[in-house]
Amino acid sequence: MSNQDQQPPADVVARCHELTNQLNYHNKQYYLLDQPEIPDAEYDRLFQELKSLEQAFPPLLTESSPTQRVGALPLTEFETVLHEMPMLSLDNAFSAEDMQAFDKRLKERLKQADELEYSCEPKFDGIAVSLLYRDGVLERGATRGDGTTGENITQNVRTIGSIPLRLQGDDYPAVLEVRGEIFMPKRGFEQLNQRAIARGEKIFVNPRNAAAGSLRQLDSTVTARRPLVMCAYNVGYVEGELKGAHAQILLQLQGWGFVVSEELSVVDGVQGCLNYYAQLEQRRAGLAYDIDGIVFKVNSIPLQRRLGFVSRAPRWAIAHKFPAQEEITRLNDVEFQVGRTGAITPVARLEPVFVGGVTVSNATLHNRDEIQRLGVRIGDSVIVRRAGDVIPKVVAVVPGKNGENRREISFPEHCPVCGSLVETLEGEAVARCSGGLVCEAQRKEAIKHFASRQAMDIDGLGDKLVEQLVDEGLIHQVADLFTLSCEQIAGLERMGLKSAENLLRALDVSRETTLSRFLFSLGIREVGQATARNLAQYFGSLEKLVQAEIEALMEVDDVGPVVAHFVHDFFQQDNNLKAVEALKTAGVHWQEIDPVEQQDLPLAGKTYVLTGSLETMTRDHAKELLLAKGAKVAGSVSAKTHCVVAGPGAGAKRAKAEKLNIEIMDEATFLSFMESL
């Protein structure tokens, strides 16, 4: 009997386990802690020994072996993944006062005076990911994306040495979703750039950009060559329940093979948080990786559940950011931009300066009040800050460094785009153009928003095409989109007959939407996707929403007095009602269902999975259609899946559905089925 068939001897099996454990340990020491204990040659020797044993005894080779982290065949595109539980973002604190206010809010909500226990963890400057394990085996890796859907990067995460391909031990749940941050340690980043310089290639600006670029490679063999590390910070969907507090759960993850920050600590009260923050801030520069703050979480899981969530973030966690990186530069000029809602924003044109890993030449000055508060003038030397890696802003004037040719910043009395009067309402700091849809800037931005993926999802109607259509006078309001002719579109620059036909087809498909998408597409101030969905579910019909008083609007989850006023005022204005009617006349429609009838929807209680590329609509649109009929749309196929809708390019999900004898529909069958409901 050859080694190909025979079971390996017990001593060989034991040696394989030993080599696997050693290689995983040294990966952590090298990449995460920057404390290699053996030279590269010794690591290579251990790796080759394991590889030789696996080649000699094929039964020893598993997908979880360190030798299998070399990457697979290149993909043509990333598949979309629906997260089992939303991956929410965190609210930020930038000062001790912010942290004290956070702690006070939690105590008031919990109605307790005792100090809360907090878990403290470094906030790695990387990319958030979700890892799904089934029966201890890595099944799927996904990016955070928009929090609801991400990209399937399974091939890439399999190449990362700190991610277990099979969980250690035997006490893990049958299904476990682990969330963490993938980042590139400083040493690996420097070596990566050194190799790029030697080859005459473009270098990465900072470790975060390098990590993001490495993780989104369609060719996973490229990812395999990049020094990436994943540190676990939480769990998502779990089949069953994990015992213990948050920090104890992280230690459980460590026991199952995940890297968990060695800086993990538990403290009492907000002062304990502030002490931890100060201590780690002092050591920040000496760490082997970049961090941009500390994440504090209520350690008790029952208290986390009581505190719950707002639409985009958990109430029980906050990211206390380190002071932002700042640099001094010169303010050369100020220009004024007009946004979608007519807000006039002063934008500082700066002498280019390198701040926080990027070259900054523009920064926001926010509004007139901020300009007056800063006392800033054109020609001043100013401090520019990138707080939390967001839009750079001017935060101060540098005294004693300003020349004689300083000029005052004159806020415009008339819109720089349409010439309409600029107004500042009582109680507001933001000045706004009063031109509404007659203002080209607002019209363009309103149409761009209307056509965006999260709104009406009009495929092919990009920003530049919208600008052309408005500039050529072909559209004056959003409803005009649905009156465009093939000849008008084809006659535009960089457009042809085929592109025009595709756009008209996309416009026609977009006419059928959902109430929540339609509400979001209208661009009502402060009404995002979550609020639009809550409004649609609460009122069930547009007519009831239009007639709702402010008190009724405030009964909706996540709608406070400010948002209620914005919604109410929007539907009190004739021009907005006319715009809505024009869209309905153009054929835009949705199914209106009374909330109490939701449980009677035809697909209620059934789970669908979308896979492959759909040709007449996007998968987001197909998902909305299913949700409107009461279905649940999952990201993976299981025994609970009722049906799989498979377009061209469907792969593993279709194969699994066939194996489980689950119904599979092609796109044409799906469309016919939906029309029959």
Longest alpha-carbon distance in the chain: 92
Kindly give, in sequence order, each residue whose CB lies less than 8 Å from that of residue 412, ignoring residues fewer than 6 positions away.
Answer: 336, 344, 422
Residues 6 or more apart from 44 whose CB is under 8 A from it?
none
Q: Which two tokens stand for residue 522?
A: 């209208």
CA–CA distance, 40 with 409 (Å, rounded to integer): 59
Long-range CB pairs of 312-316, under 8 A, 24+ apart, other chains included:
312/88, 312/89, 312/147, 312/530, 313/88, 313/89, 313/90, 313/91, 314/88, 314/90, 315/105, 315/106, 315/109, 316/106
Quick check: is 123 catalytic?
A: yes
- Of 540, 558, 555, which Cα lies nearest the Cα of 596? 540
Phi and psi at residue 453, to the nearest 5° = -60, -40
Residue 600: DSSP 8-state: G
The rounded distance, in Å, linking the Cα atoms of 215 and 642 is 33
Q: How far apart are CA 174 and CA 135, in angstroms?
A: 5
Query: Which residue of the set 111, 123, 584, 659 is catalytic?
Result: 123
- In the 8-state DSSP scheme, what is residue 416? T
Residues β-bridged to residue 354: 359
Q: In Å, how far are 89, 190, 246, 384, 398 from 353, measured between CA atoms?
A: 29, 22, 42, 9, 15
Distance from CA of residue 162 to its chain's centroid?
23
- CA-based angle 434:517:317, to the nearest 5? 90
Query: What contacts 391, CB < 8 A, 6 or more positions away?
Result: 363, 364
3-state secondary structure of 562: helix
* Best CA proximity match to 635, nearest among 652, 649, 618, 648: 652
243, exposed or middle or buried, with CB in 10 Å at 0-12, 13-18, 19+? exposed
Active site residues: 123
